[in-house]
Amino acid sequence: MTLPFLEKVLQVLAQGGFSATYKYAVLLGLIDLCVEAGHPPTSITTAQLARRVVELYWPQVRPFPATRGVLRQNRGSLGKIAELILAYRQSCPDLISPPRLAPTAPAGFEALLANVEWKLVEMPLPRLQRVGGGEERFIYEINWQEGVPEGRFRRYRHGDGSAFDNRILFQPGAAESLVAFSAVIRPLVQQQWSVMVRSMNGLREAELDAFLFGVERIALGALQRPLRALQGGRCFYCAGPLTTGPSEVDHFLPWSRYPDDGLDNLVLAHDSCNLKKLHFLADLDFGRRWHQRSLDDSSRLDAIAGATRWARDRERSFGVVASVYQGVPDGVRLWCGGDRLRRVDVGDLSEVHGFGRSLLSPQKAG
C-alpha cells in the first residue's frame, strides 16, 4: 500500500494509449473484485472479471436520453463488448439487472459471459500495464500473451482446464493497494471514462456521468412495495411507520462508497432518514440488524428477487461491506440516526469480517 503504486496507476491512465473504454472497465472490475472479497485476494479469474465487466456496461448500453441512441465505447463504433451486452439486453427486455447466479440466468447469459471473457483475454488484459512503449506488470501477472489462440480459450471454456490458465495473479501488495486507494482511483477512472465517451459521441451534457455510473432510481421504485412488506411497514433506520411520510429505497452501503445494487444492500427508509444518512456509513447496530435481516429473511428476499427479477448475491454484499468498514481510518464517525454521529476507533472495526460473527457480537464501548 504505497504511493508509488498509485503513481503508476496514474501513469497508466495518462499514457496507457486508450482507444476504447475496455481498460477502464478492467481497472474498475479489478478494484471491485478485490473489495468484494472481504479481504485482498491473491488472484481472481478472467471469468470473474467478465461477469463484473458485464455489470459495469449493463446500464451504459441503454439509450442515452439526449441522443436516444446507445453511446459509442470505441472510436468509430459501439465496441464489441457493448454490442454483445446490448444484444443480450434486447433479447431479455424485462431483465432489469444482469443475473448474478448462473443457474437462474435466462438462456444465453453464459454465452454472453464467455464471449466477453474472450474479448478481455484477447485485448485489454495483456495491454493494460503498457506505458510509453514499455510494460511493467505492477498490478497483476497473467500466463498468456497478446495473440493467444482463441481455440485454446474455447477448449478451456468447454472444460479442458489444461488448455488455458485463466488466473489473474496479483503482484504482492497490489490487491491491498487497490482496496486502500479505491476511493481515489475509482473517481479518476470514471472521470476519464466519461471524458472518452463524451469525446467519441460529441457530447457536452453534464448528466453524462450520472448516466454512465449512477443508479437507476426509477428501477428502484419496483422494490418499494415488497420491501415495505418485508420490513413490516416500518423504516429500516428509525423503525417508525412508513405511512408518516414519503419513503425511498436506500443503499445501506452508500452508492458513493461502492455501487452495489444487490437486493441485500437495499432497504426502505423515510426520505428524512435517507437524507440524514446521506453518504455516511451506518453505525454497527444498524449493521447487525442489516446482516440479520439477510439471514433471517433469506427465503423472502429470494422470493422478492424472483418476482422482480432483481439481482441478489448476499455473500458479495457481505464482502463489500466488510472491506469498506475495515478500511475506514481511525476516528471515523458513523451515522446513528437523525443528526447523531458516533466516533469509533479502529478497535471497534478491526474484527469486521463479512458482517458475520464479529458484527453480531457485542459492540465495544466507544
For the segment 160-194, what is each residue's pLDDT rounded down to a tens digit?
989 999 999 999 999 999 988 888 898 889 888 98
When pLDDT is averaged across residues 289-315 and rounded to a whole number, the result is 93
Q: Rounded to 5 degrees, what are φ and ψ at 170? A: -75, 140
Helix (H, G, I), strand (E, B) or coil at 294: helix
DSSP three-state, residue 18: coil
- C-alpha 153/C-alpha 174 separation (Å) is 26
- pLDDT bracket for residue 29 (50, 70, 90): very high
Q: Output b/e per residue, 92-121; b: 16+ Cβ within 10 A.
A: beebbbbbbeeeebeeebeebbbbbbbbbb
166: CB partners within 8 A, 6+ apart: 45, 46, 47, 117, 121, 156
Closest CA to 223 of 315, 318, 300: 300
pLDDT band (50, 70, 90) for residue 345? low
Between 156 and 347, the more confident residue is 156
> Mean pLDDT across the stretch 70-74?
93
Residue 309 contacts residue 105 (beta carbons within 8 Å): no
Edge-first strand order for the sheet with 140-141 is 43-45, 167-170, 140-141
Domain boundaries, the chain: 3-213, 218-360
Phi then psi dihedrals of residue 55, to 5 deg: -65, -35
Query: Which run of H or of E encompasses 226?
Result: helix 224-230
Cell numbers standing for residue 113 = 459471459
List, for residues 351-363, the tens digit of each pLDDT value. 554 444 344 334 4
